[in-house]
Amino acid sequence: MVHGYHVFDVRKKTLYFSSIIDGFNNEIISYNISETQDVSLVLDTLKEALRKRNVIDTILHSDQGKVYTSKQFQTYVKEKGIITSMSRTGNCHDNALIESFHSHLKSEGFYAQNLKQLNNASIIHPLL
């Protein structure tokens, strides 16, 4: 699984979009949107992915962002038996799958939407 988050500016608000993609088939397993960039955003996304999939001995790849290196996140993945893998510092190519997805989401859909509400359903469902 590949985990990442991206920042979007919408209607003078900053939104943080967290998502997890299956590295085998490029399926979006889970996603979440928040107005705050914190550990709970990525943990909620990971918990949703684990609820949807019965994963055993999985590897979760991410960048080295503060949410992924936090004690709270590292404790949770260790308790779940998840092996973490992180990109090298400053190397977006190591996390190309999620970076590419977020780039397409932003350029081909996100800003093209006529958003009336700022919530998961109104923002993301038309794009997936």
| Per-residue pLDDT tens digits for 34-43 | 888 899 999 9
Over the stretch 49-108, which tens digit does the pLDDT of each residue have? Answer: 999 987 778 888 887 788 888 999 999 999 999 988 877 676 666 677 777 776 777 766
In the chain, the amino acid numbered 55 is: V
Domain boundaries, the chain: 2-114
Instruction: State residue 93's pLDDT score.
Output: 66
In the chain, the amino acid numbered 94 is: D
Name the CATH superfamily, with its identifier, for domain 2-114. Answer: Ribonuclease H-like superfamily/Ribonuclease H (3.30.420.10)
In the chain, the amino acid numbered 85 is: S
With CA atoms as reference, report the closest residue to 33 among 127, 128, 123: 123
pTM: 0.77
Cβ-count burial of 46 within 10 angstroms (0-12 exposed, 13-18 middle, 19+ buried)?
buried
